[in-house]
Amino acid sequence: MNSESATGKKILPADLVSKKAEELDQIPDGELVAAYESFRDHEDAESGTYPNISRLYGTSLEREKDRRETRAQAETCNAEMQEWYEKARNEPCTWWLKNHLVAKHALKSCIACGVCTAQCPAAQYYPEYNPRTILDAALTQNEERLVELLKSDTLWYCGQCGSCKPKCSRENNLMGLISSLRFLAQLKGYHLCSVRGRQQYAMRHLCGGNLWNRACSLYFRNITAEGHPDFGPRYAKYQSEAEAQMVRLGANPDRPGHFGGRKLSPQTLAEFRSCLACGGTLVLWNQLEESAAEDATKNGISIDEYHIRVHREG
């Protein structure tokens, strides 16, 4: 993490909430994180809730803080799997297939019966999609073909439902293989070649932001009526009252508890983050940041604008 000394000027956390990423550049890492955390942990004593969480969620400030924290935690984390993934990104794709924990158990053989494709909901929706060819590319161990696959939209069509799994007479784990290859595509930066692959930068700050800050993949404020026009006016009404409705039903929006929306203690969050770091996940997240920054620069846009673009294109 940046070890610059404090600016001497007191940072008011509320002032940072509306700032863009480039406006936060000059604020040292420690001060930025401290400002975020003090704002987040301000408790409304009367209600026992943390009202500022809703103001921080989804902001440039939160994304910038996350970038700096994940970079810093990866730098100080002396984890075997972190080293493994750092090494793996420079190895051929064929090496990955033989060594990655999921990929190496995913493939047995293929008799080209096509049942995986026949059962596949994605193949029914995307006419050009044929998951059997992904399996075939992996089994042929042809590096050139694998690189082409990793740079394509084809890799990103699978809905990870697993409909293919119980049908395969050879017990291949195609959904696992695809997920594993997607991980590799991102590690190598190949996802930038595909519009669907670039969407992973949206996932990095949607699910990744939730995981890092709230130890959940989805948070009740993610699913806004504006973001989900397909859910219609009844959902819009529910969402406008979501917090009150959740409390009514026994959930815990931005407050302590076991159920939906809960605010976790710093200790639980620290343990969870450490599990992510020791398992090597931060190598991927930091690579996604590097790739996004590179692509944004190439396109002459800011990282905040790039973040909006990847949510919309495709």
Partner 1 sequence: MATVNLAPTTIKEIPENDFFLTPSCILGAVNPGTEVLISRIYDLLGLTWRAAGDRAESQCTCCTGFSSHGDLISIESTLLVTARLWSIAAELGLENITTACVTSFAIHTECLEMYEHEPGLHERVDRWLQQACGRRLQIPKHVVHASDIVYRYRNDLAHKLRYRLLDHETGRRLRVVDHVGCHYAKVFPEKAIGGAESCDVLAGLIRAWGGETVDYPERRHCCGMGFRQCAIRPNRGYTMACVLKKLDSMEPWQPDAILTNCPGCNLFLDKEQWAIQQMTGKTFDIPTLSYTELAGLLLGWDPYDVVGIQAHTVPVEPLLDKMGIAYDKSKEWLGKRVAGGT
Site for partner 1 in 124-143 (CB under 8 A): 124-126
Q: In this complex, which beta carbon is closest to partner 1, that of residue 20 or of residue 196?
A: 196
Q: Which of 216, 254, 209 is nearest to 39 (CA)?
A: 254
Q: In this complex, which beta carbon is closest to partner 1, that of residue 32 or of residue 212?
A: 212
170 scored as a contact of partner 1 (CB under 8 A): no
121 scored as a contact of partner 1 (CB under 8 A): yes
List CB contacts of 148: < 8 A, sequence separation 6 or more: none
> According to CB under 8 A, which residues from 32 to 71 bind partner 1?
none
79 scored as a contact of partner 1 (CB under 8 A): yes
162 scored as a contact of partner 1 (CB under 8 A): yes
> According to CB under 8 A, which residues from 254 to 273 bind partner 1?
256-262, 264-265, 268, 270-272
Q: Is 181 exposed, middle or buried (0-12, 13-18, 19+ CB in 10 A)?
A: buried
Which residue among 98, 108, 170, 237 contacts partner 1 (CB under 8 A)?
237
- Measured distance between the N- and C-terminal CA atoms of the chain, rounded to whole angstroms: 35
Q: Alpha-carbon distance 175 to 158, whole Å?
A: 8
Q: Count residues near partner 1 (CB under 8 A).
A: 91
Give the largest Cα separation in the chain, rounded. Answer: 69
> According to CB under 8 A, which residues from 184 to 223 bind partner 1?
186, 196, 199-200, 202-204, 206-208, 210-211, 215-220, 222-223
Contact at 8 Å (CB) between 89 and 187?
yes
What are the strands, taking DSSP E only, across the chain?
A: none
Which residue among 8, 127, 166, 300 contacts partner 1 (CB under 8 A)?
166
Residue 49 β-bridge partners: 44
